[in-house]
Amino acid sequence: MTEHLSNNNAQGGRFPTTHWSVVYSARDGVEEDAAHNALAELCRIYWAPIYTYIRRTGCPPEDAQDRTQSFFLHILSKSTFDTANPDKGRLRSFLLGALKHHLASEFRRENAEKRGGQITTISVDMREGEEWLTRESDRELSPDKQYDRTWALTALDKVMNRMEADYAARQKDKLFTGIKGHLLWNSDATPIIEIAKELSMTEGSIRVAIHHMRKRYRKTLQREILETVATPEDAEIEIQHLRDILSGN
């Protein structure tokens, strides 16, 4: 996973399938199964930032798991998305605001719902969530900063997974494995001469491959962020915010 991010402008308009379109499916789904599937998709995308936010508030792991599940059920059943509008903000910020409101309501509720009740739960991998926190064990982060940082890291993980799948589909998985460290632009990456020998390629070919990989990375990242905002301009602001998060600003 890399923390190097593009500062280039995103190109083109919104992609046809976005995280916001999932929101609309969750909000407007007439059939219960369709609405549940939309909710499950949102959970898959955003559960880690939400889980780690709740944990940073001092909530124990099992309770954080319950509250994460409860939140995703809440945002569907309570029509939270009725006011959601991609032209008025970023999905990341909208969900965090909704989460804070939900948690405040839960704390005020005397008879909180217990784990294993009547509601169908959404899968939350508590062990994986704890692994996210372990990554940040040396950082004293507020819940808000933890939410943003986990969001940023999960976004980059998705970008790298997409790229890996793309290279594998083109039967270039060994090339990707060899050169992906050069996305970091650091001295820890395998020297180009060694990669060339390992893959029986020239050093020049490896340098060209790295250049193309970096361009593909920037494009894939821009596409990922465009799924959560309304315009390419918003995407550029969000990418800069992502850079700031990972640089500690």
pLDDT in tens, 164-181: 999 999 999 999 999 998
Q: Say if 136 falls within a structural domain.
A: yes
Eight-state DSSP code of residue 85: -
Rounded Cα–Cα distance for residues 43 and 125 (Å): 11
Q: Say if 134 falls within a structural domain.
A: yes
Instruction: Give the angle subtended at the CA of 169 by the CAs of 168 and 170, to the nearest 5°.
Output: 90
What is the span of the domain harbouring residue 124?
A: 19-247
Q: Say if 10 falls within a structural domain.
A: no
Indicate if the pLDDT at residue 2 is higher than 50.
no
Q: Say if 43 falls within a structural domain.
A: yes
Among 23, 17, 19, smallest CA distance to 79 is for: 23
Q: Which residue has the tokens 């340098």?
A: 207
Segments in 9-82 forming alpha helices (H): 19-28, 32-56, 61-77
Rounded Cα–Cα distance for residues 148 and 150 (Å): 6
pLDDT tens track for 104-140: 887 656 444 444 444 445 667 778 888 878 877 667 8
Q: Say if 4 falls within a structural domain.
A: no
Q: Say if 6 falls within a structural domain.
A: no
Band (17; pLDDT cuts 50, 70, 90): very low
Q: What is the pTM of this model?
A: 0.67
Rounded Cα–Cα distance for residues 23 and 39 (Å): 8
Q: Which residue has the tokens 């499950």?
A: 40
- 192 near 207, Cβ under 8 Å? yes
Domain total of the chain: 1
Mean pLDDT of the chain: 77
